[in-house]
Amino acid sequence: MMHLNKWFLGFVFLISFVNLNSQNLELGKVSVAELQEKMHSIDTSAVAAVLSNKAKTSFKYNEKSGFSIHTEFQIRIKIYKKEGLSWANFEVPYYVGYENSIDDSVRFSDAVTYNLENGVVVKTKLNSEGSFMTNANKYWNVASITLPNVKVGSVIEFRYILKSDNIVKFPHFNFQYEIPVNYAEYGTEIPGFFVYKAIVNGFLQAKTEQRVSSGTLHYANKNDFTRSDSVNFKQLISTYSASNIPALKYEPYVDNLENYRFSIQHELEKTQFYQEQVKDYATTWEGVAKTIFENKDFGKELEQGVYFLDDLKIILKKEESTTVTELEKLLIIFKFVQQKMNWNKENSYYTDKGVKEAYANKIGNSAEINFILINMLKIAGINANPVLVSTKDHGIPVYPNHTVFNYVIAAANIGGKQILLDATSKFTAPDVLPLNALNWRGRLIRKDGTSDEINLVPEIPSKKNYTLLIAVDANGKIDGKFRVQNTNSEALIFREKFSGVNKESYLEKLENDLNGIEISDHAIENENMDLSKPVTEIFTFATTNHCEIIAGKMFINPMLFFALSKNPFVRENRQMPLYFGYARQNKYNISVEIPAGYVVESLPKVMRISTAGKEATFNINTLNVGNKIQFVISEEINGAIFYAEFYGELKEFYQKIIEKQNEKIVLKRI
Q: Over the stretch 105-132, which tens digit does the pLDDT of each residue have?
A: 999 999 999 999 999 999 999 988 888 9
Same domain? 270 vs 305: no
Distance CA 96, CA 94 (A): 7
- Decide: 285 and 444 in contact? Cβ < 8 Å: no
Q: At residue 669, what are phi and psi to the nearest 5 degrees?
A: -70, 145
Nearest alpha-carbon partner for 615 in 578, 565, 589, 655 = 578
Residues in the chain: 670
pLDDT of residue 274: 61
Which one-letter amino acid corresponds to residue 19? N
Same domain? 386 vs 521: no
pLDDT of residue 170: 86
pLDDT band at residue 615 using 50, 70 and 90 as cut-offs: very high
Nearest alpha-carbon partner for 262 in 275, 250, 246 = 246
H or E segment at 375? helix 366-379
Same domain? 234 vs 382: no
Predicted confidence (pLDDT) at residue 346 exceeds the cutoff of 80: yes
pLDDT band at residue 205 using 50, 70 and 90 as cut-offs: very high
Point out the least confidently predicted range of 16-30, 363-377, 467-481, 563-577: 16-30
Predicted confidence (pLDDT) at residue 18 exceeds the cutoff of 70: no
CATH code, domain with 62 = 2.60.40.3140
Rounded mean pLDDT, 554-563: 92
CATH code, domain with 515 = 2.60.120.1130
pLDDT of residue 13: 29
Predicted confidence (pLDDT) at residue 62 exceeds the cutoff of 80: no
H or E segment at 371? helix 366-379
Distance CA 108, CA 318 (A): 65
Same domain? 370 vs 439: yes
Q: At residue 657, what are phi and psi to the nearest 5 degrees?
A: -65, -45
Domain carrying residue 295: 285-455
Predicted confidence (pLDDT) at residue 321 exceeds the cutoff of 80: no
pLDDT of residue 23: 39
Predicted confidence (pLDDT) at residue 549 exceeds the cutoff of 50: yes
Dihedral sign from CA coordinates of 545, 547, 553, 559: positive
Round to the nearest angstrom and report the end-to-end CA distance of the chain. 82
Q: What is the pLDDT of residues 360-392, one digit of tens each?
A: 999 999 999 999 999 999 999 999 999 999 999
Point out the least confidently predicted range of 321-325, 479-483, 554-558: 321-325
Same domain? 315 vs 176: no
CATH code, domain with 399 = 3.10.620.30
Q: What is the pLDDT of residues 415-453, one digit of tens each?
A: 999 999 999 999 999 999 999 999 989 999 999 989 999
Same domain? 25 vs 146: yes
pLDDT of residue 51: 97
Predicted confidence (pLDDT) at residue 50 exceeds the cutoff of 60: yes
Q: What is the radius of gyration, based on Cα positions, of the chain? A: 31
pLDDT of residue 273: 67
Which of 336 and 3 is assigned the larger pLDDT? 336
According to DSSP, residue 405 is labeled: -
Predicted confidence (pLDDT) at residue 567 exceeds the cutoff of 50: yes
Same domain? 437 vs 482: no
Predicted confidence (pLDDT) at residue 61 exceeds the cutoff of 80: no
Predicted confidence (pLDDT) at residue 281 exceeds the cutoff of 60: yes
Same domain? 95 vs 125: yes
pLDDT of residue 24: 42
pLDDT band at residue 22 using 50, 70 and 90 as cut-offs: very low
Distance CA 574, CA 526 (A): 41
Rounded mean pLDDT, 386-405: 89
**For all residues of the chain together, what is the average pLDDT?**
90
**Total structural domains within the chain:** 3
SS3 584: strand
Predicted confidence (pLDDT) at residue 322 exceeds the cutoff of 70: no
pLDDT band at residue 565 using 50, 70 and 90 as cut-offs: confident
Nearest alpha-carbon partner for 65 in 164, 146, 144 = 164
Q: Could you tell me what percent of the chain has a pLDDT over 70?
A: 92
- Decide: 433 and 460 in contact? Cβ < 8 Å: no
Same domain? 188 vs 235: yes
Distance CA 529, CA 518 (A): 28
The last residue of one of the domains, among 263, 280, 297, is: 280
The burial of 409, by beta-carbon neighbours within 10 Å (0-12 exposed, 13-18 middle, 19 or more buried), is given as: buried
Please work out, in degrees rounded to the nearest 5, the angle formed at the alpha carbon of residue 374 by the alpha carbons of 413 and 456: 60
Predicted confidence (pLDDT) at residue 214 exceeds the cutoff of 90: no
Neighbours of 553 (CB within 10 A): 15
The last residue of one of the domains, among 403, 437, 455, is: 455
Rounded mean pLDDT, 81-91: 97
Same domain? 521 vs 567: yes
Rounded mean pLDDT, 471-475: 95
Predicted confidence (pLDDT) at residue 600 exceeds the cutoff of 80: yes
Distance CA 48, CA 416 (A): 56
Point out the least confidently predicted range of 249-263, 307-321, 543-557: 307-321
Distance CA 476, CA 557 (A): 12
Rounded mean pLDDT, 227-232: 70
* HEC letters along 455-477: ECCCCCCEEEEEEEEEEECCCCC
The last residue of one of the domains, among 280, 300, 317, is: 280
Distance CA 271, CA 5 (A): 13
Same domain? 257 vs 312: no
Distance CA 292, CA 279 (A): 20
Predicted confidence (pLDDT) at residue 11 exceeds the cutoff of 50: no
Which of 12 and 603 is assigned the larger pLDDT? 603
pLDDT of residue 225: 61
Same domain? 315 vs 276: no
pLDDT of residue 579: 94
